């Protein structure tokens, strides 16, 4: 028979034992589901849903954090869209957008409703392998919870993201991912499929809330804030790229830019085994991440492609025709997602560039953003014209840069296209 001290020890040990996973998930859900809500974006004239997402309360005043892409239509077209907050067994509440962080895909919104409880967000450190719980309203099915694992920051990325091994589905965007004790680690933002989810680190949400609480929220329109944030972001990105010597990749007798940044993924392809009268090697690099501006527009990325082609069979005229057709086909790679409402027409100029023994025909095109003045997309296509049986074609695409920075990066890029020593 246990004595009183032994009984106390036994009870303490039993209390310290972790709950079975299913029981713990149930406790987390019951504890925090009331702090999470659905945001519905409504077309103003008909009051019909045009988009849905999730959000979570971060203070007693009714402020909530969500993703920028959830409320982007309200930012882009404030006269055409409104929003409401929907919670279980409660009438819908009005919502307005207070502030945004377009680069990190976050927004702070104000509800007319005051919550019974909220998440007190703060910067946090989490060990890889920690069990996490993601909240949201997937596919308009109601507030749900998803278990997953924290796998740390994405190491090679233009934009800060956390890797969450769990299912983040459409409609969960803007919901919180928390530890078992309710500490917010990040904000649901995207899925890669196959249990690969992405979160925005919570410190960026903390910064948004701090601005609102301190009264430092910018009084400019939300679109102006978005423009200023994108311009500031591309300044940092440009400085980093210009400070980086471009490594060279060997393509026959030519050298071209290799992996410019650790944030870029690079791949090569020597083509199929099908017999052809020429040999084509494809090398391309791209940033997997981009900045969401609107449903029709993405920006803030870098990509480039080299095509090295040789032939001992075609002869100079047929080879020149092949190179010209490949040059024309590269247009498909140049496409940058945007609508005529977002951007103007490309303005292009063609030049022949002498760079040591390398002579390049270059076509450089810029187009201006209409709603975000000062930002541009750049497409640079260049090809060597110095050989009857070997050619190098290269394409650079920069999205969301100032014209000065885009041109400076294009010059830096072209300087790395040359003959091997």
**What would the DSSP string read from start to end of 68-85?**
HHHHHHHHH-TTTEEEEE
State phi, psi for 368 to the nearest 5 degrees. -95, 150
Determine the pLDDT at residue 218.
66
| 101 in a structural domain | yes
Rounded Cα–Cα distance for residues 306 and 382 (Å): 10
| 253 in a structural domain | yes
Same domain assignment for residues 361 and 381 = yes
Q: With contact defined as beta carbons under 8 Å apart, do 55 and 37 qualify? A: yes
Mean pLDDT of 39-62: 93
Query: Which has more pLDDT, 3 or 226?
Result: 226
| 102 in a structural domain | yes
Same domain assignment for residues 25 and 146 = yes
| 376 in a structural domain | yes
Rounded Cα–Cα distance for residues 374 and 191 (Å): 31
Same domain assignment for residues 291 and 213 = no
CATH of the domain at 178: 2.40.10.120
Percentage of the chain lying above the pLDDT 70 cut: 90
| 10 in a structural domain | no
CB atoms within 10 A of CB 216: 9
Domain boundary among 184, 217, 250: 217
Find the domain containing 366 and state its range.
228-419
Rounded Cα–Cα distance for residues 68 and 101 (Å): 7
DSSP annotation of 183:
-
Same domain assignment for residues 209 and 306 = no
The DSSP annotation for 331-379 comes to HHHH-----TTTB---EEEEEEEEETTEEEEEEEEEEEBSSSTT-EEEE
Rounded Cα–Cα distance for residues 12 and 2 (Å): 14
Domain boundary among 191, 217, 243: 217
CB atoms within 10 A of CB 352: 10
- Read off the pLDDT of residues 190-227 as tens digits, 9 standing for 90 and up: 998 889 999 999 999 999 999 998 877 666 789 999 99
Same domain assignment for residues 206 and 266 = no
Same domain assignment for residues 411 and 341 = yes
Rounded Cα–Cα distance for residues 62 and 68 (Å): 18
Q: Which two tokens stand for residue 48?
A: 């019909």
Same domain assignment for residues 245 and 378 = yes
Mean pLDDT of 51-70: 97
| 3 in a structural domain | no
pTM for the full predicted model: 0.89
The domain total for the chain is: 2
Determine the pLDDT at residue 16.
43
Determine the pLDDT at residue 336.
86
Same domain assignment for residues 269 and 405 = yes
The sign one gets for the Cα dihedral 311, 312, 315, 316 is positive
Same domain assignment for residues 62 and 177 = yes
**Band (2; pLDDT cuts 50, 70, 90):** very low
- Read off the pLDDT of residues 7-47 as tens digits, 9 standing for 90 and up: 444 433 334 445 555 669 999 999 999 999 999 999 988 88
Mean pLDDT of 402-416: 95
Angle at 310 between CA 254 and CA 351, to 5 degrees: 55
Domain boundary among 197, 217, 237: 217
Determine the pLDDT at residue 15.
44
Determine the pLDDT at residue 333.
55
Q: To which residue do tokens 């992996």 refer?
A: 259
How are beta strands 144-153 and 297-299 bridged, if at all? unpaired
| 412 in a structural domain | yes
Same domain assignment for residues 38 and 162 = yes
Mean pLDDT of the chain: 89
Same domain assignment for residues 317 and 188 = no
**Band (337; pLDDT cuts 50, 70, 90):** confident
| 336 in a structural domain | yes
Same domain assignment for residues 253 and 212 = no
CA atoms within 13 A on the CB side of 367: 20
């Amino acid at each position: 028979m246990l004595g009183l001290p032994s009984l106390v020890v036994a009870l303490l040990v039993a209390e310290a034992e972790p709950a079975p996973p299913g029981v713990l998930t149930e406790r987390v859900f019951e504890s925090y589901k009331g702090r999470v809500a659905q945001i519905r974006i409504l077309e103003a004239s008909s009051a019909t849903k045009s988009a849905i997402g999730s959000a979570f309360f971060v203070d007693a005043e009714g402020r909530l954090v969500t993703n920028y892409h959830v409320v982007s239509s309200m930012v882009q077209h404030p006269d055409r869209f409104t929003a409401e907050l929907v919670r279980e067994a409660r009438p819908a509440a009005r919502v307005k957008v207070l502030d945004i962080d377009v680069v990190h895909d976050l927004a702070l919104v104000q509800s007319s409703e005051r919550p019974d409880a909220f998440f007190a967000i703060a910067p946090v450190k989490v060990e890889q392998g920690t069990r996490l719980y993601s909240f949201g309203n997937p596919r308009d099915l109601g507030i749900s919870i998803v278990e997953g694992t924290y796998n740390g920051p994405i190491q090679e990325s233009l934009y800060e993201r956390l890797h969450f091994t769990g299912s983040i589905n459409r409609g969960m965007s803007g919901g919180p991912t928390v530890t078992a004790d309710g500490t917010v680690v990040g904000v649901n933002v995207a899925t890669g499929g196959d249990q690969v989810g992405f979160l925005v680190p919570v410190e960026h949400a903390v910064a948004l809330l701090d601005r609102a609480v301190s009264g430092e929220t910018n009084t400019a329109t939300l679109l102006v804030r978005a423009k200023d944030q994108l311009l500031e972001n591309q300044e940092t990105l440009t400085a980093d790229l210009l400070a980086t010597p471009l490594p060279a990749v060997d393509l026959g007798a030519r050298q071209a830019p290799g992996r410019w940044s650790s944030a870029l993924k690079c791949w090569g392809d020597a083509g199929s085994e099908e017999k052809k009268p020429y040999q084509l090697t494809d090398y391309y690099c791209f940033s997997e991440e981009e900045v969401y501006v609107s449903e029709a527009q993405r920006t803030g990325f870098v990509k480039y492609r080299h095509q090295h082609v040789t032939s001992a069979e075609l002869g100079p005229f047929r080879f020149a025709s092949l190179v010209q057709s490949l040059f024309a086909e590269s247009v498909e790679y140049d496409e940058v997602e945007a609508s005529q409402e977002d951007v103007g027409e490309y303005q292009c100029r063609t030049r022949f560039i002498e760079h040591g023994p390398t002579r390049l025909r270059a076509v450089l095109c810029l187009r201006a953003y209409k709603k975000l003045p000062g930002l541009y997309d750049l497409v640079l296509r260049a090809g060597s014209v110095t050989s009857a049986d070997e050619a190098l074609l290269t394409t650079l695409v920069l999205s969301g840069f100032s014209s000065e920075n885009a041109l400076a990066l294009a010059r830096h890029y072209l300087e790395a296209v040359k003959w091997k020593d």
